[in-house]
Amino acid sequence: MRLSRVTLLLAPLSVLAATQPLYESYKETAGRIIAAALADEDGYAKLSYLCDRIGNRLSGSEALNQAIQWAAAQMKRDGLENVATPAVKVPHWARGREEAELLKPVRHRLTMLGLGGSVGTPPEGITAEVVPVKNFEALTTLGRDKVAGKIVLFNVAYEGYGRTVGYRSSGASRAARLGAVAMLLRSVGSLALQNPHTGALDYSATDPQIPAAAITLEDATLIQRLADSGEPVTVHLYMEAHMLPEADSANVMGEIPGREKPEEIVVMGGHIDSWDVGAGAQDDGSGIMAALEAAAIIKKLGLQPRRTLRVVFWTNEENGLAGGRAYRAMVGEQVRNHVAAIEMDGGAEKPVGFGVSGHGATLERVKEISRLLEPLGAATVREGGGGADISPLMRDGVPGLGLFTAGVHYFDWHHSPADTVDKIDPQDFRLNIGALAVMSYVLADMPDRLAAE
């Protein structure tokens, strides 16, 4: 049926907008958002305050509680509405004093970090011979006769985080199954420079729990060379690590309420907790501060999307994911009103684009929006995205998006004492702010919503 000129003139603007390509509809607005992001200085200042004045924020720590209160106050200062800190119970692991030393055939202080969730050693520590292995298959080949009573060192070459992190997760239990008394791990990271990386381990329900710690590449390869020379290698390990009762914590959330469909929500954020070393700048101070500043810029420009744009700082991503689960439980049946969930948890190097959990029409729609990110160099869209905190939402069909970056150095600093704010390039950070701001605003404002997956 052909529409007359009069009919077109009388058609609601929302209908016309729905038929107009998103790129044309939002090109001018996206340009304003990007210009504001590239000129922004407030976001980096907030990130610096979080990292330099509050610092590392492990679940259960007083620093995390301080960060939560500061973040809620900052959301209010930035003009977000309905600011709240919904309570979440989180695991509380304490590192305590720890040290490791190579005793034989030479004496050498090892640079180490206990793995998150590890048990401690006896009060006198553990002194035992070290058996280095390069993978799980080599451990199995050794068998109980050559492993029992010893410390297993997984001297595993870094082949990317996803391929290597399994040794951190399950290495202690695999070694304990064969009678090992402790586990050492060559740090899961892409750079040496005597910088150890911590991270959570997962004890199995059926194997003994043994102390587990990461050591540096330099120390791991030293032990390997000494063992290869044929002499027994002995290490003393001391760790006070222990679990405490669950602690009180909270998520932090604030909103720009939607002007037409406030019940429909685009949620965006990252995790406010960090490991207890470094300052959690890349992981994930940059994610939460970029999300907050993206919303602040939208607010400053006087933009109010059709749907509600909600910023959430989830708690306890690093060693429990309690915040993500609590948020999903809090929204209950209203999860069906979540149009999209966006997470930034890959650091703040130069943004490349978004990974999308959806496919088909959802993927194509995000690709259309991403054309607006070409001035930022962040227009790439790929299948597979989201993040750990939004995974409970994604399991119930909410399309998930994850901002991904060039990632050249992220795993050099990840979970280490080097994760400090000086590693954040201010211009790259602004590019990330711009990408989040444009993507979240258009998803919240476009006439139609993304289809649930």
Name residues whose C-beta falls within 8 Å of residue 311's C-beta, 6 or more positions apart in sequence: 75, 80, 253, 254, 255, 267, 268, 269, 291, 292, 295
Structure tokens at 125: 């520590």
Structure-block tokens of residue 314:
């989830």
**Paired tokens of 102:** 């190579």
Q: Are 51 and 285 in contact (CB under 8 A)?
A: yes
Of the residues 317, 318, 343, 349, which is catalytic? 317
317 is known as an active-site residue: yes
How would you label 160-180 residue by residue, b for 16+ Cβ within 10 Å and e otherwise?
ebeebeebbbbbbbbbbbbbb
Residues 448 and 309 sit within 8 Å (Cβ to Cβ): no
Q: Yes or no: say if 394 and 254 are a contact pair by the CB < 8 Å rule.
A: no
- Catalytic residue IDs: 317
